[in-house]
Amino acid sequence: MNKNELISSIASETGLTKTDAAKAVDAFVASISSALKSGDEVRLVGFGTFAVSKRSATTGRNPRTGATIKIPARNQPKFKAGKVLVDSVN
């Protein structure tokens, strides 16, 4: 399912117009992104948890040339599915 299909699904289930559903999806994504940027976790009970983990700097190798490269430290967004979501999929 892509973003447009998600918007259509939300619109049909809630009775919203596609424009309003698109605004809701965009606001949801923006809110989660904003919270993760500020270092907070977003917990949606029954769905899962969005969090940020810190990856330290490492060295790697270019597979084509074999040259060593430096991989900088960075923050990595993570999602851990909640029990209800895992149970509904299985």
The distance from CA 57 to its chain's CA centroid, rounded to whole angstroms, is: 22
What global pTM score does this model have? 0.78
Predicted pLDDT at 58: 95
Q: How far apart are CA 52 and CA 3, in angstroms?
A: 23
> How far, CA to CA in Å, does 19 sit from each of 4, 6, 7?
11, 12, 9
- Supply the pLDDT for residue 82: 94
As a whole number, the mean pLDDT across the chain is 95
- Return the structure tokens found at 56: 């330290």
- Listed in sequence order, the residues at least 6 apart from 31 whose beta carbon sits closer than 8 Å to its beta carbon are 42
Give the pLDDT of residue 11.
Answer: 96
